[in-house]
Amino acid sequence: MYFIHMPTIFEFFAFKIMIRTRDHKPPHVHCISADGEVLITIEGQIVIRNHRVHTSDVKRLCEFVRRYEDVLMNEWRHYHEED
């Protein structure tokens, strides 16, 4: 068993934008609120999974991830030490 750390990179409205330290590819973020969670790829902003997040919030989150793509990719690389 191992501990998965998930640091918060940004806070955006009611969402925490987080990256798991041990996670699968493609590089993506977890956008978590009290009501749900959506996973969005950092490059291309494709929704991998949406669990109870309203469509309008998903659109805003995708735009946020697009705007901060470079920062988020640097954070992903920091935690995943790309080959």
Strand 8-12 and strand 15-18: the pairing is: antiparallel
Q: Which of the four pLDDT bands, split at 50, 70 and 90, describes residue 83?
A: very low
Q: Could you tell me if residue 1 is inside a domain?
A: no
Q: Could you tell me if residue 65 is inside a domain?
A: yes
pLDDT at residue 42, rounded to an integer: 98
Q: Could you tell me if residue 15 is inside a domain?
A: yes
Domain residues for the domain of 56 are 8-80
Q: Could you tell me if residue 13 is inside a domain?
A: yes
Tens-place pLDDT, residues 5-54 = 899 999 999 999 999 998 999 999 999 999 999 999 999 999 999 999 99
Q: Could you tell me if residue 3 is inside a domain?
A: no
Q: Could you tell me if residue 61 is inside a domain?
A: yes
Domains in the chain, number: 1
Burial label, 49 (beta-carbon count in 10 A; 0-12, 13-18, 19+): exposed
